[in-house]
Amino acid sequence: MRSLKNLLVTGGAGFIGANFIHYLKKNNFNGKVFNLDSITYAGNLENLKGIEKNFNYEFVKGDIRDKDLLKFLFGKNEIDTVIHFAAESHVDNSISGPKVFLETNVIGTFELLFTAREAWTENSGFKKGVHFHHISTDEVYGSLGETGLFSETTAYDPSSPYSASKAASDHFVNAFHHTYKLPITISNCSNNYGPYQNKEKLIPLMISNAIEGKNLPIYGKGINVRDWLYVEDHCDAIWTILLKGENGRSYNIGGNNEWKNIDIVYKICEVLGSETSKSKSEYEKLINFVTDRAGHDLRYAIDATRIQKELNWFPKESFETGIIKTVKHYLGK
């Protein structure tokens, strides 16, 4: 089991990164956490308000493509572990403006890898205990039909500029391991949901629009299927991989919760109906079907057998329990 002391969390003001830092504090991590984030539209320091209290934490505003800043951070703080969340992640944005996805997700990941390799090299090898963990997505695998699951051996077949950029970054992480023996792990997760998620994403968009009485726009017929993972379960899986994951190994992280988009929206309406003064039917009247997104993959579903068998990790939340917690968060309960 690895001993982690000085963690560099990239993108720690974003949705999953912020939840991960909260997870570390909640579980009494006694090392130091450095949060490197450029605070784009997807990053929000309000997600981490008060985190410094009784916790060894430091925020650094900066870009993962900034070579000099990375070199300074690694050298000054003796970083031994990188947990790389930072990424452009909104598929629609990648369709309208793909270049920034190349710059952040591919070039940014490369600069992190290059800096880690230089900082951690010692006597033609690597310092003891160092590790680079890269957070990726199931979207790199492309689209599934009505049956089947993505496993770690599924061939990559990205459909959008976003998923293509994440696939490329995965390949660079693996290449630095195979070529330079950099100690790495990769995790490919299914769709996350929970507190602090940017409102451009499906679940927080539906919840916030419903609360505000706005239309609930659903692509196509709403039949696209995703496997949903509560964000705290994802954080727990990442921590498990950091402690026990095999060097050079990829792990798929899924929630065992396949839902059609339209059924998710109906479920949100149901939960809001039970948590507010309005009825379920009042929220359902806001549903509005819109033109489908270009290259919209039909179905994603994760086979998480490897992480379950090898590392004994299992999700704790069902979608039914996780969505109640999520709706309550956005209602301020």
> Which residue is catalytic, options 138, 152, 232, 233?
138
Residue 237 CB burial class (10 angstroms; 0-12, 13-18, ≥19): buried
One of 139, 152, 170, 297 is an active-site residue; which one?
139
The span from the CA of 65 to the CA of 113, in Å, is 11
Q: 232 catalytic, yes or no?
A: no
Residue 263 CA neighbour count, 13 Å, CB half: 12
Q: Which of 57, 141, 162, 330 is catalytic?
A: 162
Rounded Cα–Cα distance for residues 26 and 116 (Å) = 28
Beta bridge partner(s), residue 33: 7, 57
Contacts (Cβ under 8 Å, ≥6 apart) of 71: 115, 118, 119
Report residue 260: phi and psi, to 5°: -75, 150
Encoded tokens for 228: 């949903």
State yes or no: is 141 an active-site residue: no
Query: Does 138 participate in catalysis according to the annotation?
Result: yes
Q: What is the dihedral of CA 93, 194, 203, 142, to 10 degrees?
A: 50
CA distance 73 to 81: 12
* Active site members: 138-139, 162
